[in-house]
Amino acid sequence: MNFEFTEDQQKMREKVREFAQREFTPELAAKFDMEEKYPEELRKKSFEEKIIDYSDPWKVLIAIEELCRADAGLGISATVPYFGEEIISLFGSDYLKEKYLAAVNDGKAIMGLAVTEPGGGSDVAGIKTFATKKDGKYIVNGGKMFITNGTIANFFVSLIRTSNEEKRHHGLSVLVIESSFPGFKSTKLRGKLGVRATDTAELQFNNMEVPEANLVGEEGKGFYYVMTFFNISRIFVAGQGIGIAQGAYDRALRIIKSRGAAYSNNEEIQFALADMATHIEAARLITYKAASFLFNFKPDPMETSMAKKYAAETAVYVAEKALEITGIEGISSDLERFYRDAKILEIWEGTSEVEKLIIARSILKGGEN
């Protein structure tokens, strides 16, 4: 068991921290939050400065932590152009990798993942968007909801029903859908509580033709591909949670220290700080443990779900505590944004309830220790 990052990884943390401090100015973070605007320039800058380095997944996790520590809205926006990439890289054809992933990896395109539907998020197998085959093409009808990058992505990997099987999840497939396809429509969702710099939209597919070559892997295996992806992405969402929690903690600590020893010597405040720091440390350890399984090609869905659930709850807990102990000063500063941003982590990429189901099922399936 080794709890230390390599020198290279440490350097990456410093590099991303410096980038975030330089680029995520308080004014910019407030502006994009207020205007609910995607920070396209920041995306380009983060790409040019190689803030996301896919050659080492630890570096990606570290980058997400540090970016969200500075600001979740901007941080997630800078890391999310690649959202869903693993589905194509793990299961897609060479044609799809070449046609779609190359542009994303060159910083020339943005992609997204389209799974959730208006009728349900947690029940992934209940997907209703349907594709029928005609003349070597899929004709897709239906819609998707709460889709990150919905109005800015060039294409989406989307989970779609291609047949009605007795076991619902056996009838699902993944198709790559371009936003330029006739019949595609996206509508930006405004008025989010937090992460307002990120782009979120509702998608509609109306008799949209998708080439057969845009099928990822095999028909009927889509559910499996998406679940595999979630077992990867949830580690990075846990990283968002650590970052938001750490960012809220940093700000609260700064305010508390500025009030002098008389204030910070108060045990009520000290206990709150100790609780916050302990939660963050625990979230970090559980996330790094789950990440080490995944990054060594031995993913453990239970560990991953524990990490995602705990880190999300930690972000909410720490942001709440931070506002509690800083009072009016806290809610009148950018700390309030961390409180708003944190809550999404208990909802997206599997709600905390879904994570608990995964954990419980793994426990009940397994033997005694």
Partner 1 sequence: MEQEEMRMLRENIDEFCTRNIADIALKIENSGIPQDLVAKLAGQGFLGARINPENGGSGLDEDSYRIVLERTARSSPSVSMLIFLENSIFSPLYSHDGSALREIASGTSRGTACLFDYLSGQEDSVKMKSGKAYGTVKYCLMPDSEYFLVPSDGSLYALKGKPRQNPLPRLGFRGLGYSGLEFDGSDAEKILENAHAMIDEVIAAASKDIAAIAIGMAGATIDKAMEYSRVRTTFGRPLKDYGPVAFNLSDLKSQIDEARNLLYSASSDPLSIKIMAIELARKSSRLSLQIHGGYGYLEDFGVEKFYRDAMSLSVFFGTRGEDLKTLSKKMYGETAGII
Site residues (vs partner 1, CB under 8 A) = 30, 116, 120-123, 126, 145-146, 189, 191-194, 265-269, 316, 320, 323-325, 327-334, 336-337, 339-340, 343-344, 346-348, 351-353
Shortest CB 107 distance to partner 1, Å: 29
Asked about 349 being catalytic, the answer comes back as yes
Are the C-beta atoms of residues 155 and 100 closer than 8 Å to each other?
Answer: yes
Helix (H) or strand (E) holding 195: none
CA-to-CA dists, residue 138 to 36, 206, 312, angstroms: 34, 12, 38
- Which among 236, 215, 98 is positioned nearest to 158, based on CA atoms? 215
The torsion of the CA quartet 313, 317, 323, 326, rounded to 10 degrees, works out to -140
Buried b (16+ CB within 10 A) or exposed e, 317-332: bbbbbbbebbeebbee
Shortest CB 177 distance to partner 1, Å: 20
Distance from C-alpha of 164 to C-alpha of 314, rounded to nearest angstrom: 40
Q: What is the DSSP letter of 364?
A: H
Q: Which of 4, 349, 353, 368 is catalytic?
A: 349
Cβ-based nearer residue to partner 1, 275 or 353: 353
Angle in degrees, CA 190, 192, 197, rounded to 5? 80
Cβ-based nearer residue to partner 1, 250 or 329: 329
Buried b (16+ CB within 10 A) or exposed e, 169-180: bbbbbbbbbbbe
Is the dihedral angle over the CA atoms 38, 331, 279, 28 positive or is it negative? positive
Cβ-based nearer residue to partner 1, 260 or 366: 260
Shortest CB 240 distance to partner 1, Å: 15
State both tokens at 250. 């940093």
Shortest CB 201 distance to partner 1, Å: 12
Helix (H) or strand (E) holding 183: none
Cβ-based nearer residue to partner 1, 189 or 277: 189
Is the dihedral angle over the CA atoms 276, 282, 288, 294 positive or is it negative? negative
Are the C-beta atoms of residues 68 and 76 closer than 8 Å to each other?
Answer: yes
CA-to-CA dists, residue 81 to 44, 103, 141, 307, angstroms: 10, 11, 25, 23
Q: What is the DSSP letter of 318?
A: H
Shortest CB 117 distance to partner 1, Å: 11
- Residue recorded with tokens 């060594």: 296
Shortest CB 339 distance to partner 1, Å: 6
Shortest CB 269 distance to partner 1, Å: 8
Residue type, 294: L
Cβ-based nearer residue to partner 1, 91 or 348: 348
Are the C-beta atoms of residues 150 and 143 closer than 8 Å to each other?
Answer: no
- Residue recorded with tokens 């949209």: 208
Catalytic residue set: 349
